[in-house]
Amino acid sequence: MDLFSVRKRLDEIDAQLLDLFCERMRLAAEVAAAKKETGRAVFDPAREREKLAAVADRAPDALVPQAVALFSLLMSMNKAEQMRILAAGDPQGAAEDARAALKPADEPFPARASVACQGVEGAYSQIAASRLFRLPSITFFASFDGVCRAVRDGLVRYGVLPIENSTAGSVNAVYDLLAAYRFHIVRSIRLKIDHNLLAKPGARLEDIREVWSHEQAIAQCAGYLERLGVRVHVCENTAQAAEAVARAERDDVAALSSRACAGLYGLDVVDEDVQDSDNNYTRFVVISAEPEIYAGATRASLMLTVSHEPGSLYRVLERFYALGINLVKLESRPIPGRDFEFVFYFDLDCPVSAPSFIELLNSLGDVCERYWYFGSYTEVL
């Protein structure tokens, strides 16, 4: 056969495949109705194994992997459609929560708000808050947990917390707190971080014997500190480190902190931009006790757990793929008290109003043990 004839035949086969696919998806409604009536779960692992085994038996040996992958995807899309049908109108579903939290299109993100930050004036969290809000009323707390308790107790409307760094990775303590408090993310920002070595006026770089800072800043400047040959001391916050150096009765200590802290605490910059990578960004999130979704939100965050069995995470990822949703972050954390079991955090690039996203929220319960939708939001760059 010549190329034209081959392509014509392929088009004919594709047309048949499309008709059969559409018919298969239409049957999902009947399957969903039958399962609802009998109380059976959408995901039937025994039935799925039998189907895939039958596919493998019928396919030529050279095409078994492709055939199994194709039918696995078909079944995933069918299950997602069943879940969408069963979850439609569920007042307690995550999709309905997202719709209820969506603000009117003409309501902007607040310019003024009460905000909790960890540290003291000059901390990177405060700098992030000042970029996120035009006129924030900031209250400082000694720890990340203090920020969360302030939001939980209604002392402030929002909290601003660092969640990941391009050099040092995720801030695991914040992920654990998000899971514990079940907060909602309403905004995020990527802040360029330039660490500076701050010391008392007149101090010289060669005189510095000890450097104080937050553990994340220390990790981001690990190579520099090793070359400097100094001892390191971990503080609660980079700004608190600068404040402590200013109060110290020693001239051989310095703080890794922002340039703004030099002016705030009367210190000199003895070395600037000392982070190991020039591409050093920290992502901060705005958290709230109640869900708030503003127009234009394109990023979403989820937390979920899966059963401890082969293929459980694959079924989740397959659902993202089947719905055409872009996964931009996957983070795992051990579940306390459960050996070798993990909770997974996902960041997705998908508009909150996209039908595929609503379908995902309605169908996730089929592929995981439980999940929590942190919210959809805009990330400020």
Identify the top-confidence range among 135-144, 304-313, 360-369: 135-144
pLDDT higher than 80, residue 134: yes
* Least reliable range by pLDDT among 30-39, 110-119, 372-381: 30-39
Query: Which tops the pLDDT comparison, 127 or 41?
Result: 127
The yes-or-no answer on residue 140 being catalytic is no
156-202 pLDDT, tens digit each: 999 999 999 887 788 888 988 998 999 999 999 999 999 999 999 99
What is the rounded CA–CA span in Å between residue 175 and residue 172?
5
pLDDT higher than 90, residue 126: yes
CATH numbers and ranges of domains, the chain = 1-87 (1.20.59.10), 112-193+281-288 (3.40.190.10), 196-271 (3.40.190.10), 295-381 (3.30.70.260)
Give the model's pLDDT for residue 92.
59
Q: Which helix (H) or strand (E) holds 329?
A: strand 326-334
The yes-or-no answer on residue 38 being catalytic is no
**Residue entry with tokens 């959408």:** 42
228-239 pLDDT, tens digit each: 999 999 998 899
Q: Which of 282, 320, 344, 357 is catalytic?
A: 282
Give the model's pLDDT for residue 283.
95
Q: What does pTM read for this prediction?
A: 0.81
What is the rounded CA–CA span in Å between residue 136 and residue 227?
39
Q: Which of 144, 183, 284, 346 is catalytic?
A: 284
Q: Where are the alpha helices (DSSP H) in the chain?
A: 3-38, 45-58, 64-87, 94-101, 124-132, 144-152, 172-181, 215-220, 222-228, 238-247, 259-265, 312-322, 355-363
11-44 pLDDT, tens digit each: 999 999 999 999 999 988 888 888 777 777 777 8
For range 66-77, the mean pLDDT: 89
Give the model's pLDDT for residue 85.
77
